[in-house]
Amino acid sequence: MNDYLIKAKEILGDKYNSYSETKIIEAMEYLSYKTAVTELPKTTDTEYPILYVFRHGQTEDNESMIFSGWRDSPLTQKGKDQALSLAPKLANKKIQLLVSSPQIRAIETMKIAISHNEKAKDLTIQTDPRIMERNYGEYQGKSKLEIQLEDPEKLMLVRRSFSVPPEGGESIETVCKRVTDFCEEIVPLMKRDNISVAVSCHGNSIRGFRRYFEKLTDEETAQIETPLGQNYAAYSVI
């Protein structure tokens, strides 16, 4: 039994035998999103303030392939290790402000990721709801794998459409609008006070940051994926 099937059996339990192994493998491959992962850009220009942005580490919901959205789900040990792998990468960065999504997984990740930076590790972590994860509405708390197995077309539309929201939730477009609002506030502050900022957030809110700084199209924004923890994007604010 391959790794996908072992994981699926753990997630599906008694429902595992309701699906063919071929269908399960196809669903697991799709939900791995490996082909959609893109390199995070990093400015090399240190003359201007820099915004460092990263995604939280793996959570219990991530491990169980559950839609978290606005749910609070703590980091697993693997998630803590992923956040810790960020620490040496951020250790020597000049960072004067820490901003996190108010969700516990993002705050936990920030604390660990900044822990090797002697000048920044004791800064108060500010929180801002505009950089929270996408609200997944009816899908929140439900199994991604089960939904993918039962209704893959609907799930693909909701997950990969820029403007279509799940019932009772937000579209990617809505998330991007609130992240843009955050950027339009933080960027002038960074310029005025000549400060660099570290931001800990989520996969969908990072879409908003990348759209804002990289001028991505709607389609590009909806298609990109950011791995859990481990890496960051860095944008010069000129």
Say how many domains are in the chain. 2
Does residue 105 share a domain with residue 28? no
Catalytic residue status for 133: yes
Does residue 177 share a domain with residue 120? yes
Does residue 123 share a domain with residue 102? yes
pLDDT in tens, 137-185: 999 999 999 999 999 998 888 888 999 999 999 999 999 999 999 999 9
Does residue 91 share a domain with residue 179? yes
Q: Give me the pLDDT at residue 155, please.
A: 85
Q: Give me the pLDDT at residue 36, please.
A: 62
Q: Is 59 annotated as a binding residue?
A: yes
Does residue 157 share a domain with residue 217? yes
Rounded Cα distance between 152 and 181, Å, is: 33
Catalytic residue status for 10: no
Q: Give me the pLDDT at residue 103, please.
A: 98
Give the three-state DSSP class for 52: strand
| CATH number assigned to the domain comprising residue 204 | 3.40.50.1240
Q: Is 148 annotated as a binding residue?
A: no
Q: First vs last Cα of the chain: how many Å apart?
A: 53
Closest CA to 200 of 120, 135, 138: 120
Give the three-state DSSP class for 70: coil
Q: Is 13 annotated as a binding residue?
A: no
Q: Give me the pLDDT at residue 35, please.
A: 56
Does residue 209 share a domain with residue 147? yes
pLDDT lower than 50: segments of the chain: none
Q: Is 134 annotated as a binding residue?
A: yes
Does residue 53 share a domain with residue 23? no
Q: Give me the pLDDT at residue 173, please.
A: 98
Q: What range does the domain containing 5 cover? A: 1-32
Does residue 63 share a domain with residue 13? no
Q: Give me the pLDDT at residue 1, please.
A: 62
Does residue 201 share a domain with residue 228? yes
Q: Give me the pLDDT at residue 39, please.
A: 85
Q: Indicate which residue of 39, 118, 133, 219 is catalytic.
A: 133
Does residue 192 share a domain with residue 81? yes
Does residue 9 share a domain with residue 83? no
